[in-house]
Amino acid sequence: MKKKDELIQALVKEIELRKNEISNIVVDTLYFGGGTPSLLTNDELQLLIDAVHQNYKVTDVPEITLEANPDDLTQKRIKDLTNSRINRLSIGIQSFFNEDLKLMNRAHDSQEAKSCLDIASEYFENISIDLIYGIPGASNKRWQENIDIALSYELPHISSYALTIEPRTALESFIRKGIIEEVDEEKVEEQFLILVEMLEKNDFIHYELSNFGKEGFFSKNNSAYWQGRSYIGIGPSAHSYNGEQRSWNIKNNSKYITALAKDTLPSQCESLSINDKFNERVMTGLRTVWGVSLEKIEIDFGEDMKNYLLRQSKKYVDQQLLYIEDDKLGVTKKGKFLCDGIASELFKLK
């Protein structure tokens, strides 16, 4: 990694400069994600973890997650990580089939994915993997086999997402030229429902639209985001949220390093309007098992906003896509796949 040492020092500096942003909050989760955090040595990870402890209030045993791909997690690296403060791994498996991995231009193959999990399971109890569904050409049968393989490792957490076709990628070009078939939305929904059914049968709790965890193994990092709690993102491109404002750092590594060397935060910020906060609450709440508290909507936004939400949601309640129970607005099993679209229909735009 170019300018690795300078980047790490810049990360430490940003941690220090932002220590007063959440002075009244106790940190219970650290997440090393984005890019390739697995390239950091144990000493470098410890340097960053120490900087957090020195500048923030931290729980005695925070959840500390390292995100990595199978090709980065050799047996030696996994064993090394057991001597670090990392206590949770999030591994980007995506699929256990070479056809899928090749299509998504992943660096690892099926055997590396399985070998990585074999080794990681020996050393770590708290492991999450990512799986992708809705891949062009991947049948429902293959998707079921993917889930079966994942279940065979007795993992406590699985995150699963529909394939997103990013613009200006090889995959987007192949689809546009007809080399690869387009994403079939009907099949995407079928595979989502297969996922939910199979994981719930195996004692996973579908606590957020894309996240499934065994009891006691919900991701603290994911849960904080979806419950609307404040968080600080450190590093190039990182995003932060404090309940009132959203901010994001510059993407360019060199500009990020240069700014921090001058004790300047390389970030932009936007203040959220009342409608922005209401819409955020509705969107994040509906995606989770906790739903949207109608009482909290009234307390935070007023009775008129609560009544607006009830009016907007009525037709979806009638269609059994949403439900109201114990003063909570939530999504039914039937409505889960349509969750984001339904949420947008409940937004306050004016």
Q: Please report whether residue 241 resides in a domain.
A: no
Confidence at residue 137, expressed as pLDDT on a 0 to 100 scale: 85
Q: Please report whether residue 204 resides in a domain.
A: yes
Confidence at residue 185, expressed as pLDDT on a 0 to 100 scale: 83
Q: Kindly state the percentage of the chain with pLDDT values over 70.
A: 94
Confidence at residue 254, expressed as pLDDT on a 0 to 100 scale: 94
The neighbour count for residue 231, using CB atoms within 10 Å, is 18
222 and 310 housed in the same domain: no
199 and 339 housed in the same domain: no
Q: What crossing angle do the helices spanning 140-152 and 185-201 adopt, rounded to 10°?
A: 30
Confidence tier at 347 by pLDDT (50, 70, 90): very high
Q: Please report whether residue 329 resides in a domain.
A: yes
Give the integer Cα–Cα distance in Å for 10 and 5.
9
Domain boundary among 211, 226, 241: 226
Confidence at residue 180, expressed as pLDDT on a 0 to 100 scale: 61
Confidence tier at 12 by pLDDT (50, 70, 90): very high
105 and 208 housed in the same domain: yes
148 — alpha (psi -120 to 50), left (phi > 0) or beta? alpha
292 and 213 housed in the same domain: no
Confidence at residue 24, expressed as pLDDT on a 0 to 100 scale: 79
CATH number at residue 150: 3.30.750.200
327 and 213 housed in the same domain: no
Confidence at residue 2, expressed as pLDDT on a 0 to 100 scale: 66
Q: What is the CA radius of gyration of the chain?
A: 21
- Tell me the pLDDT tens digit for each residue of 218-248: 999 888 888 888 899 999 999 999 888 999 9
Confidence at residue 164, expressed as pLDDT on a 0 to 100 scale: 74
76 and 182 housed in the same domain: yes
**Which range is least confidently modeled, 80-94, 173-187, 213-227?**
173-187
Confidence at residue 223, expressed as pLDDT on a 0 to 100 scale: 86
Confidence at residue 176, expressed as pLDDT on a 0 to 100 scale: 63
Q: Please report whether residue 34 resides in a domain.
A: yes
More confident residue, 168 or 92: 92
Total number of domains in the chain:
2
Q: Please report whether residue 274 resides in a domain.
A: no
Q: Please report whether residue 252 resides in a domain.
A: no
Residue pair 259/9 in contact (Cβ under 8 Å)? The answer is no
Confidence tier at 174 by pLDDT (50, 70, 90): low
294 and 209 housed in the same domain: no
Confidence at residue 25, expressed as pLDDT on a 0 to 100 scale: 83
Closest CA to 161 of 211, 127, 200, 207: 211
- Tell me the pLDDT tens digit for each residue of 136-166: 888 999 999 999 999 999 999 999 999 876 6
Confidence tier at 177 by pLDDT (50, 70, 90): low
**Which tokens in the block code for residue 31?**
């997440």
Supply the range of the domain harboring residue 341. 288-346
Confidence tier at 99 by pLDDT (50, 70, 90): very high
45 and 143 housed in the same domain: yes
Most confident by average pLDDT, 20-24, 167-171, 199-203? 199-203
Domain boundary among 175, 209, 226: 226
203 and 126 housed in the same domain: yes
134 and 207 housed in the same domain: yes
Confidence at residue 184, expressed as pLDDT on a 0 to 100 scale: 72
Give the integer Cα–Cα distance in Å for 296 and 304.
13
Q: Please report whether residue 166 resides in a domain.
A: yes
* Mean pLDDT of the residues in the chain: 92
**Which tokens in the block code for residue 196?**
């939910």
* Sign, CA torsion 299/302/305/307: positive
Domain boundary among 188, 209, 226: 226
**Which tokens in the block code for residue 94?**
């995506």
**Which range is least confidently modeled, 71-80, 178-187, 262-271, 335-344?**
178-187
Confidence at residue 173, expressed as pLDDT on a 0 to 100 scale: 61
- Tell me the pLDDT tens digit for each residue of 28-87: 999 999 877 888 999 999 999 999 999 999 999 999 999 999 999 999 999 999 999 999
Has residue 170 got a pLDDT over 70?
no
69 and 200 housed in the same domain: yes
- Tell me the pLDDT tens digit for each residue of 259-300: 999 999 999 999 999 999 999 999 999 999 999 999 999 999
69 and 178 housed in the same domain: yes
Has residue 306 got a pLDDT over 90?
yes
Has residue 122 got a pLDDT over 90?
yes
